[in-house]
Each structure stands twice: as structure tokens, then as C-alpha cells.
């Protein structure tokens, strides 16, 4: 099954606007398929806070319209207690080094292990999947979600979109700039649907509010809690790592031919789950940090299929279940949260770190406002 391109439709329509910290006031565009609209007048204004509490299994994206990092959800304590899942939304401004807690009227339920990607054409963050208990041990008590949500930083509003693939958590998504589509790969789903991890590939079109399952003839092994990034220079979606996989190979996906390619595994990091990976567009490198029991920083060059261990003098420490995003305006990679591997399993980091590839340095920003 080949990818079917769809015409880009200029959306119109209005949502009730909420007060924001971003400036500007443009609502979430109305897609051609009208979803359930959950926007409503806000009951509270935004009150600046110091920064998000320590957490894991949260998601971050860079919103180019607001020029801020958007953080959603995660778990803030013992993952066996679903009340520790959160649906908080925070934004981070690197220029002023400030976090700001948002106050959307309605939106997703508290959840962890959700996948997110920012659609720069429509200026919305798309969420899919997730659950209330992020750590996979026995699936019978986990709650898996199949909801698709769109968030506007401009208006601080959520809108529920069309249902997607089967419910799952631990999946990953990226925005494919060239096609204006979001690509999802893998994840763990309830028993009898995807056993212990998936290797299915899906494409989401916000303008049509529709999901399309792809049918590549070759696929990476099933996985969840993997790392994923979109290399815009090569126009490839890159997937690495994941739970219980012995193979450390990078896999590359071409949307237009609907094909996955296994890249040569020469050197590079040891395989692991819970690592984070972003694409640095200025350096044309994928940056990977951490993962279960690791504190290493790596750069991957798709063109030469080669890894370079960066070995900066300092860093965030041995982290797992953290989140990273690349800010192209500042040319910095921003990291927040994660579990400290060498401490109590419920001790979660609440520090903000930035990585500069050009100088190979990590800096602890530690906002205090």
C-alpha cells in the first residue's frame, strides 16, 4: 500500500479564545471532518509558576508559532498509583528561561506515555494514545487510550479529534514536514491486539482528521519505549532502540515509497529503552541522550550511517523516561524530567537542561522564577 497524498485544505472556523502567554490569538483550525469540540470559556487566568514538578513519561514539542516548548502530562510519583498521572500543560521560553503553567478549559484525561508531535502547517500539537499507568508489567491493570487530541498554544485550547489506531502507549510520533503528515510507529497495546509491542506504521492528516495505516513489506521488529526523530534534510523518519531488543540498528522510513530500511550498525550506543532522540537541523545530526542506566550523548549522521559519541564534560546524569526537543531558533536541544537511574525509582528530575552541539556542552538552566 503506497502513501496516498491528500490535498492540503485551508481550514476555517472559530473557537472561543482563552487568555494566553504567547501573544496572538488564532484558534485551532477546523479540519474538514468536524470532531467533538471541547473548548469552552476559561474559568481562570494563567498564573506563572516556578517550573513543572519532577516527572517521567511526559511529552514535549517545540511550537514554532509561539516559539516555546510545550510540555504535556507524565507521571509525578509512584506509577502504580494512577492518581500520579497528570494532564498539566506547561510552556517553556528559552530566551527568558521561564516555565509557565497553562490552564486549558477541557482536554485529555491525566495520562502518561502518550506520543506527541507539532504540526507546523496548522500550528497545533497532536497527541495520540497513552495510559494512566506508564510502566508495563501486567497489562491487565493498565488503561490504554486511542484518543487523538489537538492543542493550540495560541489559544490554550484542546480539541478532540477522530479516533486513531488501536489503543496503545509507549508509541512514538514525528511530524513529516514535506507531506504535512504525522507519522506514528510502534507501541504497546492490550493483550490480543499487539503482543508486547507493535511495528505498525500510521499516518495522520490533521486537515482531513483521518488516520491511514501503511503497509510496508519490511518492518522493524516490534517495539515500544523507543526513540524516533524526523531527519528533514534526508526526508527520513528514524527509529532506534526500544524495549527488550538486542539489535542496536537504526531504521529509516521513507513515507513516499512506504519502505523501511535497516541501516548498518557500526559502533554506536548500546541498545536500550527510554532514551530520547531529536533532530538538530543546523548540524544535520540526530542527537540521542540517556536511556535506562545511561548518561551518554550521541550524534547520528544519516548520510554516512555513523554514530559519534560526543562525551561532553557534564550532563543531566543517568536518566530514563525523560523528554527532549530541538529549538531551531536558538539551535539548542532542551531536556526536562526523567528518572534518576542510580537513586530511588520514584525520584524524578525537575531540572531543565540545554545541549549545544556546536560546543558539545550541556548547561543546567534551573529556572527559579
- Angle at Cα 308 formed by Cα 307 and Cα 311, nearest 5°? 145
Three-state secondary-structure class, residue 291 = coil
What are the beta bridge partners of residue 98?
93
| Domains present along the chain, CATH in parentheses | 59-364 (2.120.10.80)
271 pLDDT more than 70: yes
Q: Is the pLDDT of residue 121 over 70?
A: yes
User: Cα separations (Å) of 215 from 2, 170, 224?
Assistant: 7, 21, 19
Whether the CB-CB separation of 238 and 252 falls below 8 Å is answered with yes
Question: Is this prediction's pTM over 0.75?
Answer: yes
Kindly report, residue by residue over 309-362, the tens digit of the pLDDT.
999 999 999 999 999 999 999 999 999 999 988 777 788 999 999 999 999 999
The reported pLDDT for the residue numbered 117 is 98
Task: Render pLDDT for 126-136 as a digit per residue (tens, 0 to 9).
Answer: 999 998 754 44
**Residues with Cβ within 8 Å of residue 346, at least 6 apart in sequence:** 77, 78, 79, 339
pLDDT at position 17 over 80: no
Phi-psi region of 80 (alpha: psi -120 to 50; beta: other; left: phi over 0): alpha
Distance separating alpha carbons of residues 326 and 216, to the nearest angstrom: 29
Residue 75, C-alpha cell as written in the block: 507521571
**H/E run at residue 151:** strand 148-152
What confidence score (pLDDT) does residue 132 get? Answer: 75
Amino acid at each position: 500500500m503506497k502513501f496516498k497524498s491528500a490535498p492540503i485544505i485551508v481550514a476555517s472556523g472559530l473557537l472561543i479564545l482563552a487568555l494566553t502567554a504567547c501573544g496572538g490569538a488564532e484558534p485551532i483550525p477546523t479540519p474538514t471532518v468536524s470532531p467533538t469540540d471541547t473548548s469552552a470559556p476559561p474559568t481562570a487566568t494563567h498564573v506563572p509558576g516556578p517550573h513543572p514538578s519532577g516527572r517521567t513519561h511526559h511529552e514535549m514539542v517545540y511550537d514554532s508559532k509561539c516559539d516555546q516548548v510545550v510540555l504535556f502530562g507524565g507521571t509525578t510519583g509512584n506509577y502504580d498509583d494512577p492518581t500520579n498521572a497528570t494532564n498539566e500543560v506547561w510552556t517553556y521560553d528559552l530566551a527568558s528561561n521561564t516555565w509557565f503553567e497553562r490552564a486549558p478549559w477541557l482536554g485529555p484525561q491525566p495520562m502518561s506515555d502518550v506520543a506527541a508531535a507539532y504540526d507546523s502547517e496548522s500550528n497545533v500539537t497532536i497527541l495520540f494514545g497513552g495510559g494512566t499507568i506508564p510502566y508495563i508489567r501486567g497489562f491487565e491493570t493498565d488503561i490504554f487510550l486511542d484518543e487523538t487530541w489537538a492543542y493550540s498554544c495560541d489559544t490554550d485550547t484542546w480539541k478532540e479529534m477522530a479516533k486513531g489506531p488501536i489503543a496503545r502507549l509507549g508509541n512514538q510520533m514525528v511530524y513529516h514536514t514535506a507531506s504535512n503528515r504525522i507519522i506514528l510507529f510502534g507501541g504497546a497495546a492490550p493483550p490480543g491486539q499487539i503482543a508486547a509491542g507493535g511495528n505498525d506504521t500510521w499516518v495522520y492528516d490533521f486537515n482531513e482528521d483521518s488516520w491511514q495505516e501503511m503497509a510496508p513489506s519490511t518492518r522493524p521488529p516490534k517495539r515500544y519505549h523507543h526513540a524516533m526523530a524526523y531527519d528533514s534534510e534526508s526526508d527520513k523518519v528514524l527509529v532506534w532502540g526500544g524495549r527488550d531488543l538486542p539489535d542496536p540498528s537504526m531504521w529509516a522510513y521513507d513515507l513516499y515509497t512506504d519502505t523501511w530500511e535497516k541501516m548498518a550498525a557500526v559502533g554506536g550506543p548500546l541498545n536500550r529503552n527510554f532514551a530520547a532522540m531529536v533532530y538538530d537541523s543546523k548540524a544535520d545530526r540526530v542527537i540521542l541522550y540517556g536511556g535506562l542506566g545511561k548518561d551518554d550523548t550521541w550524534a547520528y549522521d544519516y548520510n554516512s550511517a555513523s554514530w559519534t559519541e560526543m562525551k561532553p564534560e557534564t550532563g543531566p546524569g543517568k536518566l530514563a523516561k525523560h523528554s527532549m526537543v530541538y529549538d531551531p531558533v536558538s539551535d539548542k536541544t532542551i531536556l526536562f524530567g526523567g528518572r534518576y537511574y542510580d537513586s530511588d525509582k520514584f525520584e524524578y528530575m525537575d531540572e531543565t537542561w540545554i545541549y549545544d552541539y556546536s560546543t558539545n556542552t550541556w548547561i543546567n538552566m534551573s529556572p527559579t522564577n
